[in-house]
Amino acid sequence: MRAVVKDGIAVFKPQGFLDGNGGDYFINLDDINATIKLDVSMILVSLEKVIFFNRNGLNIFVKMFQKINEAKEIIVGFCDCDTKKYTTITKFYKNNLSFSLFNTYKTASLFSSTYNDTKKNILLYSDDKSQRTAMAIQLHDLGHHPIIAQDEKDFNEKKKNNSSYDVIIEQTILSQMSDKMHTRVTGNAIIYTVSSFLDSSVGNSFNIQYHQNSLNIGFRLFIFDAYKVSAMNVHALTFFSKLASSSAEYNATICFAGLTFDKIPPAFKESLEDSGIIFYENMDDILKNKELLHELTHGGSINIKNKRAINKKIITKLPDFIQSTVSTIEMMTNAKAIKEAVNVNSIVIDIKENKIASSIGFYGEIDGMIILVFPTEIAQKACELLIGEKTDDMELILDSLAELVNIVGGKIKTLLSTNNISVNITLPRTYSNIDDLIEVIDTKRGIQVDLSFDNDKFLFFLTR
């Protein structure tokens, strides 16, 4: 089977039963190689005419998605998923869903840069905040006007006035391929999800380079969501003990939440506690205890050995970093950026009051970190689209700021990939207090670019 290409989008249209039998009938190696060579912005598999499918059947195309994403960065996934199909697929893959899902082909096409259509007013909802943020920014970037529903009640109220919207998007997921441990950030804590029996394979699924870069940009609390862990052996014990010891060099803390020791030797817990790991019965025991969360996420300064200078290879990519940052903030604030000064030095922040910041790391063929310092007013403007309304709630602004900076990181990754430079990005870390930021980056040298958005000062800092 070959894909049909229209408007820069390639679509496979299997029919009947998709149950893993007759895999070569649906797609073979030649079909996959031909698909990879297509000059398209999106590759989809329509389930419109599929009567029945199981996970084995879907995996025929999921394996193709994996090969495509190894070759290039484009959107891949399934479209024409009604409620039943959408629910079934998300249950099959749960936290390992590594492709996009679209309720209709029309919805998918809105996310394509090559699809020529009039710009749309779009009502958008997802119960996953990160998802609706990523979708809103991409739609906005492509010229559409997304209206974000903040919760299901808000969505249902807005949906009643459907004449105001050209398209209504729900049951849609934008995703990227990943064979690594599921990771998310909450309250400046990195949360890793682990499950089943933990053995030596945990070292393969854990992205140690990602963890190291998260430490570099200032994360100090790492929680393993272990509710679904049944047991572990000595290989996993050794891995976590070493991880805790290396993280302690950064004054960082490793916690486990929800881990029971019914099938784990008591001596294992003692060994893990000796290495500095802390255990909690519930995630809420950490995340809803504001004093504890503040204590654990503010590990203090560290004495970084062998500080690395910013190098020529990174400096040559500075225009890409600036373009990604400025274009995103201009889009969110409807204000043009003016560059005022560029200096190579340690970061200089003359006025710390009424400022918030975020940092994000990148690693791969080049590595480093980007720090963005916002006056609170700019952050409010930039986050208004994501929040859906003006707000003075600092916690909400910081959460939305993290989502915005995550989009900046994604744009940087895409721009670098067009120059054949492969990098990955960390989740962003936010700072409500500039002194906390200074404590983390210490005296690192880098490139500081001072910008102005409608006379509001903004600082960009690139370092390693």
CATH number of the structural domain spanning residue 286: 3.30.750.24
**The total number of structural domains that make up the chain:** 3
109 and 152 together in one domain:
yes
458 and 405 together in one domain:
yes
235 and 349 together in one domain:
no
User: pLDDT at residue 301 above 70?
Assistant: no
109 and 253 together in one domain:
no
165 and 267 together in one domain:
no
The Cα 349–Cα 439 span in angstroms is: 13
22 and 143 together in one domain:
yes
Please report, for residues 9, 271, 320, the alpha-carbon distance to residue 113 in angstroms, rounded to integers and kept in the order given: 10, 53, 19
Among candidate residues 268, 297, 326, the one where a domain is terminated: 297
User: pLDDT at residue 24 above 80?
Assistant: no
Residue 84, domain extent: 4-169
276 and 407 together in one domain:
no
Please report, for residues 43, 100, 362, the alpha-carbon distance to residue 412 in angstroms, rounded to integers and kept in the order given: 22, 21, 9
The Cα 405–Cα 400 span in angstroms is: 9
In a domain, 228, yes or no: yes
The Cα 51–Cα 53 span in angstroms is: 7
21 and 138 together in one domain:
yes
Among candidate residues 246, 262, 297, the one where a domain is terminated: 297
CATH number of the CATH domain containing 327:
3.40.1550.10
Specify the range with the lowest mean pLDDT, choosing from 170-184, 231-245, 326-340: 170-184
DSSP state string for 383-403: HHHHHSS----HHHHHHHHHH
In a domain, 175, yes or no: no
Band (pLDDT 50/70/90 cuts) for residue 306 is very low
pLDDT tens digits for range 361-418 = 888 888 888 999 988 888 887 777 666 677 888 888 888 888 788 888 888 887 887 7
Per the model's pLDDT, the better-predicted residue between 453 and 117 turns out to be 453
289 and 347 together in one domain:
no
292 and 239 together in one domain:
yes
The pLDDT score that the predictor gives to residue 341 is: 86
User: pLDDT at residue 82 above 70?
Assistant: yes
23 and 152 together in one domain:
yes
In a domain, 305, yes or no: no
Among candidate residues 169, 200, 234, the one where a domain is terminated: 169
Specify the range with the lowest mean pLDDT, choosing from 32-41, 259-268, 326-335: 326-335
User: pLDDT at residue 45 above 50?
Assistant: yes
Both tokens assigned to 121: 């007013």
In a domain, 158, yes or no: yes
271 and 146 together in one domain:
no
